[in-house]
A and B are shown apart, each in its own frame.
Chain A
């Protein structure tokens, strides 16, 4: 058969210290955050969408100091946190698949998953920014008062709650390449927000829609933010588990598609 002997795998040439590997993950996450925070056309729609809606419906059209103020802050926070996950992850993945960047990254010795972890970090930073903006509006002009622990809970829910939407965005980003992705993502984003009671309280929707609401991850995220502002009591664990399951399922689906089709 073939007599060309391969150069033996040279362990010394390809061994990398754990410190350097960690450094590569950090460098990837840092680059991903920097590149998108420097792109206003990317960050502004994600942050302004929810804040402008909140300013209109939660502040200008609402009587400050009521339960409604708290309700609206919580539901617009859930709405705002979905954006960086769906668009920050999904749209950028779709565009980078088309532009060849993902192909280059796959051929470079980037540590496994660094690309996706980098994008997750970026989405978490933008989600934190969205929550801070909404809290600032709510606490200054929105007539909302929250104790420091509740403020921290909102931040934590925002930063971690973005992850299932990252997974969903990633899945959509593997279905479609390039500039078509934002359109498809909006078709997921806006109806899902509506059907989860983020714009109108669920009680005002038809009974069927109320019953299927738990299918949507945004419904569960809203339950968590409503608890954080003190409007809802009851166990949180089922909602946390639902979000976790959602994240795992879509992450696996997307990873499978990425491996198969790149």
Chain B
């Protein structure tokens, strides 16, 4: 690996008392890429973002933004930030918040361009506190991109948005990436990472579990999804050695497995009345479940 990074963690360790939130994490964000950081709650996503933003300091290793200490204002002038929760001043109008945030940056994006890109042009005169949750998220997104950043941190940006607003935000993110802006995206919605990310880092228990493109991640976990109409008990099927998981959804049995052929053969033997069989390569969701599964439980199953 010999390329450039706009932000990175090098063997970063962060402890809170006896809890190790990050355990020697290496992470590099390359220019112009959209990097999704995934992981269950408590995996170390927030600590990673906090270190890269200079909000917390590593106990060992280091964090860099554009080759500088993240607390240096020169580095932060090149980033935009949308945090998971921030109660912005309720009595300020959207336009006032935007102009204030623009004033922090040396070469901000034009006011009209920002409002059009973030879809907040119709909200400018409204006090922030009077907006709906989804509208507030759009305003926070506008504040994140108004500085014409080279690197954008989006922490769970689409939580609380309806489908339409989410699609618009995805479109805006794609446009920013086309402009050459790198994006670090944390999200709980795997379809979001699947739709947008060029690279995915999966964190679990403070370590990097996997890193690569969405396709590489899918391949790494060679799971296949089987769906069918049948009478078999989901728990009984889940106990089969080849089966990673089995659940019943509606009338259908849904199975994830690394050995689809074997499982299909067993299913057909077990229930001759089986119908509407579907076999599909696993999506990111299955890969993610497989990766972040509790290692102790995996050993027991094996």
Contacts and interface: CB of A to CB of B under 8 A. Distances in A.
A13 B77 contact: yes
Q: Which of A2, A7, A16 has the most CB of B within 10 A?
A: A7
Nearest to A22: B103
Given A13-B78, A101-B89, A108-B81, A2 B106 contact: no
Contacts of B90: 35, 39
B73 A101 contact: no
A43 B107 CA distance: 35
Interface residues on A, range: 35 or more
A79 to B, nearest CB: 27
A38 interface: yes
Interface string B149-182: 0100100000000000000000000000000000
Interface string A9-41: 111011111001001100110010011101100
A108 B100 CA distance: 11
Given A13-B78, A14-B78, A109-B105, A34 B1 contact: no
A39 B129 CA distance: 11
A111 B73 contact: yes
Nearest to B67: A6
A99 interface: yes
Interface residues of B, number: 49
A179 interface: no
Contact of A107 (B76, B78, B99): B76
A31 B96 contact: yes
A67 B112 CA distance: 61
A5 B66 CA distance: 10
B100 A16 contact: no
B273 interface: no
A34 B10 contact: no
Interface string B77-95: 1110101111111111000
A7 B73 contact: no
Given A13-B150, A16-B106, A107-B76, A99 B81 contact: no
B170 to A, nearest CB: 23
A27 B89 contact: no
Q: Which of B75, B84, B106 has the most CB of A within 10 A?
A: B106
B81 A4 contact: no
A6 B55 CA distance: 20
Contacts of A7: 4-6, 31, 66-67
10 contacts: A2-B10, A4-B5, A7-B67, A14-B73, A20-B106, A28-B103, A31-B96, A35-B89, A109-B73, A111-B104
Given A15-B74, A35-B92, A96-B87, 7 more contacts: A4-B2, A5-B5, A6-B5, A9-B74, A36-B91, A107-B81, A108-B76
